Amino acid sequence: MSAIYILWLREMKRYVRSRSQILASLGQPLLYLLALGFGLGPVFQQAGRGSYLQFIAPGVISMAILFSSVFSGIAILWDRQFGFLKETLVAPVPRIEIMAGRTLGCATVAAIQGVLVLAVCLAAGFRPQHWTSLVVALAIMILIAIVFAALGTALGSVVQDMQGFQLLMNFLVLPIFFLSGALFPLDHLPKALAVITALDPLTYGIDALRHTLINAPHFGLAIDFAVLVALGAVFLAAGARLFSKIQI
């Protein structure tokens, strides 16, 4: 049996057993959706922008995927601490397969989280432009999950202690989310902020979801896909290289 499939299956079993993690991961997106989606809705509508719930839903979905996929890198630290990583690395299996299995497993978990948040958004009143667009949206969510799961694996391969990883994640993940345009439109931004949002990987994932779900693109679906695929390839290559250098 392939090592990629075994490690992917292990991540699935770990996720299914952790029911508290599933419920806790829905708390923050639900808070943003209710507090901002409904709280700022009248202000957004008075500005002539339409429904803020419709606008913010793709950003909240992407936030759930981002947090779940990037923080999956913590699992490497846990496995290193309890010895499972050493047992895995000494097995007669190429390390790139181990890294690929872990990354795909974490990406699958993150995509499932995104689907759950999408279901919450639909229950709260969010409506896509076409129900068939949900299929394309799922493909985009999987792509976003792969990009940031690879990034989490790369960072988890470098950082040695849990405290340092948490500090790095808080310094990295929150700016990625808040500067991605998840909570505000990307047009008419100051030049400095426009440049920062254009450099943010999550910006293109959210823009692709907005294009697919509510037909409100900024860059265009072709650019979004191209950037996400390119970043996915770069992060996967970096993650594979850094993971191969882990000392046991």
- pLDDT tens string, the chain, 248 residues long: the values are 466 666 667 666 666 566 566 666 677 777 877 777 777 767 766 666 677 888 888 999 998 899 888 877 667 777 776 666 666 666 666 677 777 777 888 888 888 888 988 988 888 888 888 888 899 999 999 999 999 988 888 887 777 776 776 777 678 888 898 888 888 888 888 888 889 999 999 999 999 999 999 888 888 889 999 999 999 999 888 888 887 776 66
- List all residues 6 or more positions away from 152 whose beta carbon is below 8 Å from its beta carbon: 69, 70, 71, 72, 73, 74, 106
Report the domain count for the chain: 1
Cα dihedral 165, 166, 169, 173 in deg (nearest 10): 170
Please give the full DSSP string across 197-227, using - where no structure is assigned.
HHH-HHHHHHHHHHHHHHS--SS-HHHHHHH
Q: In terms of residue numbers, what domain contains 25?
A: 3-244
Report the length, in residues, of the chain.
248
* Predicted model pTM: 0.87
